[in-house]
Amino acid sequence: MTPKIFISRIVPDPGLALIKEHFPPFDGAQGVDLWTADLPPTRAELIERSRGVDGLLCLLTDKVDGELMDAIGPQLKVISSMSVGVDHIDIPAATARGIPVGNTPGVLTDATADQTFALLLAAARRLAEGERYLRAGKWVTWSPSLLLGADLVGATLGIVGFGRIGQAVAKRAQGFDLRVIYHDPTSKPAYNAQPVDLDTLLRESDFVSIHVPLNSETKHLVNAEFLAKMKPSAVLVNAARGGILDQNALYHALKSKQIFAAALDVTDPEPLPMDSPLLELENCLIVPHLGSASKKTRDMMSLLAAQNLVAGLKGERLPNCFNPQVYG
């Protein structure tokens, strides 16, 4: 019998094509039900549309908790997220119900590391501020002291979280002649990066880049105390998850020039409300969660998410299973 599937947004073609190939028809009534609106389903819509499905393909904008899993029903065989981060999914709840959760590590490592470097350079050299200045008609002449920023050569980059993406950032840093230190008790050195404790990293770094997952241990890891340990000339980059950062503490640190600048790919909540005080600051660059936003990367994420879904529905081991404990 054709399994029932809910896909919570239109994902790039390679993934949809794979699902179509394995589980036609694609008509919603039976088989695959695809959410086609631009905005994600509301909580009520997500519960309603995924009730009774065998497989759920979701995005990081969908909260997948025990309540939703129970509403879907005991036939649910697989949850596949088109994301590497799984903080929107209650993993213990899925594991307790024996449901494998798929995610998409690896395929977005380079795109996210590129984005991290783009943010780092943009904040260091005040690009967004410079563009606002120009568009406001304030550029009257070249000036020896106009919008001076920070140099990379010889500076120290501190990477908090030295997994795939943190290491890919370290690899790029070599080309900029940065000294790299990292804090991650579970990762071995790579790309000439030296392991240090967190206090040393904050004390010595000119750039601090966050690459840990969001969980109960990392929630508000970057708080007032963390920021107070950074150099006044330091730049903070966060391309991981908004919840790792206490935005109120960051606002005060940037406003009082306790640190030089910040560049954020992610916020909490997303989207960032337009009345967020962070938006008043010239030294805070914010973009709308674009870390993995390249065509090729999103194609690969969609394909991997579909491969996880298809494997789960066929009772096979997921190519990328976040909770392999379900297999005993």
Q: Which of the stretches 27-35, 45-53, 178-186, 286-294 binds ligand DGY when contact is defined by CB under 6 A?
A: 286-294
Q: Decide: residue 165, CB within 10 A, 0-12 exposed, 13-18 middle, 19+ buried.
A: buried
Catalytic residues: 241, 270, 289
Which one of 77-85, 146-154, 191-199, 217-225 is the stretch in contact with ligand DGY (CB under 6 A)? Answer: 77-85
Residue 60: CB minimum distance to ligand DGY, A = 5
Answer yes or no: are the C-beta atoms of 202 and 158 closer than 8 Å: yes
State yes or no: residue 108 binds ligand DGY (CB under 6 A): yes
Nearer to ligand DGY, 55 or 85 (CB): 85
Separation CA 160–CA 240 (nearest Å):
10
- Which residue, 230 or 286, has its beta carbon nearer to ligand DGY? 286
Q: Does 60 bind ligand DGY (CB under 6 A)?
A: yes
Using CB under 6 A as the criterion, what x/- string covers residues 290-319 for binding ligand DGY?
-xx---------------------------
Residues 6+ apart with CB under 8 A from 182: 158, 159, 160, 161, 162, 166, 170, 189, 193, 194, 195, 196, 201
Query: What's the closest the beta carbon of residue 213 comes to ligand DGY, in angstroms?
Result: 9
Position 19 contacts ligand DGY (CB under 6 A): no
Residues 6+ apart with CB under 8 A from 155: 178, 179, 206, 207
Report the interface residues with ligand DGY, using CB under 6 A.
60, 83-85, 108, 289, 291-292
